[in-house]
Amino acid sequence: MLPNAFGLHHVHGNVFEWCQDRFVRYGENAPDIGAGLRSSAKGSARVIPSGSFDKSFWQARSAYRRSESPQAPGGNIGLRSAGPRQTRSPLLC
């Protein structure tokens, strides 16, 4: 399987991923273009996208998203660590 545009592999269906974004319904209180994470949304609910191993197959897609409280217990929510894309030096091959 090839990586996506961000260089990540297998981004669907492992665990729901905590995001720093506050949850808002599409079109409601959305930040302005270029504002990044700055939003007027209130509350502590965060976005968790992409589905989980213990959910239905239709939830294992990048368009699926829901909200969850940071205090919510559960073994199906995690973090995806990602950093700058690196390329191999020709001398190390």
Q: Structure pTM?
A: 0.54
Q: Which domain holds residue 67?
A: 12-27+40-79
Residue 35 domain flag: no
**Could you tell me if residue 51 is inside a domain?**
yes
- Residue 48 resides in a domain: yes
- Which residues are 78's β-sheet partners? 17
Tokens found for residue 92: 């190390």
- Tell me the per-residue pLDDT of 24-83, one tens digit each, with 9 for 90 and over: 777 676 666 666 555 566 777 888 887 787 888 777 777 788 888 888 777 888 877 766
Residues sharing a CB contact under 8 Å with residue 37, sequence separation 6 or more, in sequence order: 20, 21, 31
